[in-house]
């Protein structure tokens, strides 16, 4: 008999007799846990927390049993990925007859330890919350969109692009940025709104340089670049920002289909596909290929392969702007 798939997104997390939060993305773990705990507390439960790594035999059964203080229980078990043999045995037994008046939340940060427990949890149909690390920008953009949607706020395409340029490399910073924009602004969130809050970020500056370079605006690109360098920005992320823009353009070149279809295939967000398509229209294939070679050379130079990282990034930006005008 096939195991029922029970892995669900953090945004759908809710109490269950047993629920596991699986993954090492601390932001998602915290948000899923907060959703479950907030909902469970409506029953005014007795709350108990313990660590599975230092667990002593019998603790789970005792914690989950009805008491004089409250008929409902909320039990948080941390570090299940490091659980003791006593915990593993007790937890496997508990799944056979859980207390329906208890909510047991198991936090498992990943790894093979506890695999038997996960398999039995899935087989029994108990929910597992997906809190895996979001490794690519597309997934982090989807996370931000989910946050805005749940808050009934709209961010337009340019606003999302600006937000991801400024904060998209780190989920914790992105989440904090979403919180601030939701709390401090009204109406549609545009690129101008995002820029008021985060336009001075190194990442944002790098993408502004990239935006100017790929349309052939060498004067503006170099002006932005030199300002960034004079205020302490490192050449490495500046090169990376321009290179990322070029790779996105190369990915979409020659592909047909809707942005949604390509987004899934190319591991990009739909807005990234649309933007890359608009930008690549002015480029020919040879020039784009040459720019990618220049990106590799500049990347090596700013990471120690050249004598002058500042010269390397300035040359690279100038070269991209020049190639953007090649017909």
Query: Which of 20, 11, 12, 9 lies closest to 130, judged by CA?
Result: 9
What are the backbone angles phi and psi of residue 130, rounded to the nearest 5°?
-80, 110
- pLDDT for position 6: 64
pLDDT tens by residue, 48-64: 999 999 999 999 999 99
Rounded CA separation 146/31 (Å): 12
What are the backbone angles phi and psi of residue 15, rounded to the nearest 5°?
-65, 150
What are the backbone angles phi and psi of residue 189, rounded to the nearest 5°?
-90, 115
Split at pLDDT 50, 70, 90, the class of 2 is: very low
As a whole number, the mean pLDDT across the chain is 90
Which is more confident, 321 or 253?
A: 321
Split at pLDDT 50, 70, 90, the class of 31 is: very high
Please check whether residue 171 is in contact with residue 25, taking contact to mean a CB–CB distance below 8 angstroms.
Answer: yes
Q: What is the 3-state secondary structure (H, E, C) of 245-298?
A: HHHHHHHHCCCCCCHHHHHHHHCCCHHHHHHHHHHHCCCCHHHHHHHHHHHHHH
Tokens of 37: 């705990």
- pLDDT for position 67: 76
pLDDT tens by residue, 256-277: 778 777 877 887 778 788 888 8
Which is more confident, 207 or 317?
A: 317
């Amino acid at each position: 008999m096939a195991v029922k798939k029970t892995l669900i997104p953090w945004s759908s997390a809710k109490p269950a007799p047993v629920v596991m939060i699986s993954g090492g993305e601390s932001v998602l773990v915290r948000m899923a846990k907060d959703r479950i705990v907030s909902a469970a507390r409506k029953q005014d439960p007795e709350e108990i927390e313990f660590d599975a790594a230092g667990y002593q035999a019998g603790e789970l059964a005792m914690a989950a049993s009805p008491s004089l203080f409250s008929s409902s229980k909320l039990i948080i078990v941390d570090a299940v990925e490091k659980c003791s043999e006593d915990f593993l045995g007790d937890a496997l037994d508990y799944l056979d007859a859980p207390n329906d008046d208890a909510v047991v939340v198991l936090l498992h940060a990943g790894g093979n330890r506890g695999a038997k427990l996960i398999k039995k949890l899935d087989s029994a149909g108990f929910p597992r919350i997906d809190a895996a690390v979001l490794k690519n920008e597309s997934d982090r953009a989807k996370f931000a969109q989910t946050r805005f949607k749940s808050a009934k706020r709209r961010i337009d395409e340019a606003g999302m692009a600006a937000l991801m340029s400024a904060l998209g490399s780190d989920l914790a910073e992105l989440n904090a940025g979403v919180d601030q924009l939701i709390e401090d602004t009204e109406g549609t969130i545009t690129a101008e709104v995002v820029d008021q809050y985060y336009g001075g970020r190194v990442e944002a500056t790098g993408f502004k340089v990239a935006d100017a370079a790929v349309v052939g605006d060498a004067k503006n690109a170099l002006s932005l670049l030199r300002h960034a360098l004079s205020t302490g920005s490192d050449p490495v992320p500046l090169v990376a920002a321009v290179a990322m823009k070029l790779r996105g353009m190369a990915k979409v070149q020659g592909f047909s289909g809707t942005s949604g279809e390509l987004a899934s295939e190319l591991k990009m967000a739909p807005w990234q596909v649309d933007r890359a398509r608009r930008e690549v229209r002015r480029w020919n294939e040879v020039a784009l290929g040459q720019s990618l070679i220049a990106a590799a050379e500049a990347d090596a130079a700013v990471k120690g392969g050249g004598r002058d990282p500042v010269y390397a990034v300035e040359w690279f930006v100038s070269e991209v702007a020049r190639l953007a005008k090649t017909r």
